[in-house]
DNA sequence: AACATATACAACCGCTCATAA
DNA sequence: CTTATGAGCGGTTGTATATGT
């Protein structure tokens, strides 16, 4: 029963990776692809733990990584996503192509936290620092059988809006985002109901759905309603469907 | 120039979850 | 069904570099 240990820690290198180690890892993955991290170090001739190899590849060596400074738009996107998702760095990274969870986490802790503090905003709650503790809205992923998002609120006095789907009061935590959530298994994706403008369909891009209009990432388009390839508009967290498939959120 | 402190980020640690055995 | 492992995630630490004194 069970499997053998992942690696012998006594015989593995730790700390910063050398150029030679990087080259070995890159060469191996180019040839064999990302496979079993456990067996990779031995196969690639690396004295590293598989976990360490995975981290090095994902956070630093992957060819599709976007290196360099974060743009102002990325900053704002991270802030908005964080206000929705909290410290779910992998989910946030999933919405920022070329960025890793580790990179975003570090950037948050070193730059954005301070930026928000300077704006007088609590980086944890995303509310003005002097404001009393808000009602907490929790988003919990319920059992797989149900596959629904439950949105709960502890108390309510102000700033409430009624979710069409939940039929229960939900307090806005991020005022410029309407968390009109639905979720269902992918197979049950219902027909998209895009905005119609005179026989044509307006599709909001992800950037606009998050309130970042006029960004360079804005790809809002007036599309033909009969098109089968692009009839869906971005919705919550940029999902190209009106039904949230939470599993897609976990892509990375 | 030398030292202290702050900052940035790569890497590690420990945990959870899904799943193989 | 139970147990151990692999993979992945988030928090934390370590270290190199920048900046201030």
CB A216 within 8 A of CB A245: no
Asked if A101 CB < 7 A from strand C, the reply is yes
On whether the pTM is more than 0.75, the answer is no
What angle is formed at CA A65 by the lines to CA A101 and CA A99, rounded to 5 degrees? 30
Asked if A6 CB < 7 A from strand C, the reply is yes
Nucleotides of B under 7 A from a protein CB: 7-14, 20-21
pLDDT of residue A21: 87
pLDDT of residue A234: 40
User: What's the Å distance between residue A47 CA and nucleotide C9 C1'?
Assistant: 24
- Summary mean pLDDT of chain A: 61
Q: CA A221, CA A114: separation in Å to the nearest integer?
A: 36
pLDDT at A35 over 60: yes
CB A140 within 8 A of CB A129: no
Q: To the nearest whole percent, how much of chain A has pLDDT over 70? A: 47
Nucleotide nearest to A94 (CA to C1'): C9
Count of C-beta atoms within a 10 Å radius of residue A103 = 19
pLDDT of residue A205: 44
Nucleotide nearest to A40 (CA to C1'): C6
Nucleotides of C under 7 A from a protein CB: 2-12, 14-16
pLDDT at A24 over 80: yes
Q: What is the pLDDT of residues A145-180, one digit of tens each?
A: 333 334 333 333 333 333 333 333 333 344 444 444
Nucleotide nearest to A15 (CA to C1'): B11
Nucleotide nearest to A106 (CA to C1'): B9
Burial classification of residue A89, based on how many CB atoms lie within 10 Å of its CB (0-12 exposed, 13-18 middle, 19 or more buried) = buried
Q: CA A161, CA A238: separation in Å to the nearest integer?
A: 22
Q: What is the pLDDT of residues A86-145, one digit of tens each?
A: 888 888 888 888 888 888 888 888 888 888 888 888 888 888 877 665 554 444 443 333
pLDDT of residue A135: 52
Q: What is the per-residue burial (b if ≥16 Cβ within 10 Å, else e) of A121-143?
A: bbbeebbeeeeeeebebebeeee
User: What's the Å distance between residue A15 CA and nucleotide C10 C1'?
Assistant: 20
User: What's the Å distance between residue A108 CA and nucleotide B8 C1'?
Assistant: 11
Q: CA A145, CA A138: separation in Å to the nearest integer?
A: 20
Model confidence at A16, pLDDT cuts 50, 70, 90, reads: confident
- How far CA A95 is from CA of A13, A41, A92, A171, A252, in Å, comes to 33, 30, 5, 24, 9
User: What's the Å distance between residue A78 CA and nucleotide B15 C1'?
Assistant: 25
A79 contact partners, CB below 8 Å, separation of at least 6: A112, A116, A126
pLDDT at A45 over 50: yes
pLDDT of residue A145: 36
User: What's the Å distance between residue A23 CA and nucleotide C18 C1'?
Assistant: 29
User: What's the Å distance between residue A50 CA and nucleotide C7 C1'?
Assistant: 10
């Amino acid at each position: 029963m069970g499997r053998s240990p992942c690696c012998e820690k006594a015989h593995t290198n730790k700390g910063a990776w050398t150029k030679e180690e990087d080259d070995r890892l890159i060469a191996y993955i180019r040839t064999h692809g990302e496979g079993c991290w456990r067996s990779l170090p031995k196969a690639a001739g690396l004295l590293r733990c598989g976990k360490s190899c995975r981290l090095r590849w994902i956070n630093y060596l992957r060819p599709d990584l976007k290196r360099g400074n974060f743009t102002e738009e990325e900053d704002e996107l991270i802030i908005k996503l964080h206000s929705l998702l909290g410290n779910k760095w992998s989910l946030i990274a999933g919405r920022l192509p070329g960025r890793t969870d580790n990179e975003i986490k570090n950037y948050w802790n070193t730059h954005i936290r301070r930026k928000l503090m300077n704006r007088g905003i609590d980086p944890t709650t995303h509310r003005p620092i002097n404001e009393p503790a808000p009602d907490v809205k929790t988003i919990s992923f319920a059992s797989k059988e149900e596959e629904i998002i439950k949105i709960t609120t502890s108390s309510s006095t102000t700033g409430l809006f009624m979710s069409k789907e939940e039929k229960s009061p939900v307090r806005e935590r991020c005022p410029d985002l309407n968390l009109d959530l639905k979720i269902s298994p992918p197979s049950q994706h219902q027909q998209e109901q895009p905005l119609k403008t005179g026989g044509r369909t307006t599709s909001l891009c992800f950037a606009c759905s998050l309130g970042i209009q006029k960004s360079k990432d804005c790809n809002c388009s007036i599309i033909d309603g009969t098109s089968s390839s692009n009839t869906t508009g971005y919705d919550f967290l940029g999902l190209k469907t009106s039904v949230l498939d939470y599993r897609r959120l976990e892509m990375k």
